[in-house]
Chains A and B, each alone.
Chain A
């Protein structure tokens, strides 16, 4: 069965630190991968997505993610975080009609 794992449950960083959130998935076929973000009190919104092609995808607000097929990973990165990046981050995959989300990583950025 398909699944998505996010091993970092809670990350605390100081402003300007670099960020990498891990995401691993379990599925042997073609997948589409996503990172969603939920800022405090706001809707879930799409951060970036990977369908095919260049495995390094860039999203909004300076975020990027790299799809490494051999490692079944889709880690999220940002070179320098800001206080406004404090949010919950969800990795997800779809193989068709169904969507599978990870358990989420709560990021707190300290000014």
Chain B
């Protein structure tokens, strides 16, 4: 069966520091991969999605970037974190006829 992993689970970083969040998927090949940010009262905001290695689409201009170095690996990065980058980051992979989303456990990022 397919599983999706995210790490770290929680992260506290100072403003201006770099960021690297990792997401890996097991049990499927060539999945569509997604990064979302979940904020209270604002639902899930799609940040990036990828349909293949090296292919990244950005939905919202911001201080973050994404990369897909391998088929089942998706990385969310920042060179310099801002306070506004704090939030809960979810990775998901899409499958099937309607690209149904399967979510990872998430990373809680606090920028101080």
Partner-B contacts on A (CB < 8 A): 6, 9, 32, 34, 36, 43-46, 49, 51, 90, 92, 94, 96-104
Contact = CB atoms under 8 A, between A and B. Distances in A.
Contacts of A98: 46, 49, 59
B43 A49 contact: no
Interface in B38-60: 41-46, 49, 51, 57, 59
Interface in B11-68: 32, 34, 36, 41-46, 49, 51, 57, 59
A46 B100 contact: yes
Given A43-B104, A43-B105, A44-B90, A101 B98 contact: no
B13 to A, nearest CB: 23
B70 interface: no
A6 B44 CA distance: 12
Contacts of A45: 103
B104 A99 contact: no
A97 B98 contact: no
B87 interface: no
Contacts of B98: 32, 34, 49, 51, 94
Given A9-B41, A43-B105, A103-B43, A97 B100 contact: no
Nearest to A45: B103
Contacts of A6: 43
Interface in B95-110: 97-106
Contacts of B99: 32, 94, 96-97, 99
Contacts of B41: 9, 103-104
Contacts of B49: 97-98
A101 B43 contact: yes
A51 to B, nearest CB: 6
Given A51-B97, A97-B94, A99-B94, A43 B103 contact: yes
B61 to A, nearest CB: 15
Contact of B42 (A32, A96, A103): A103
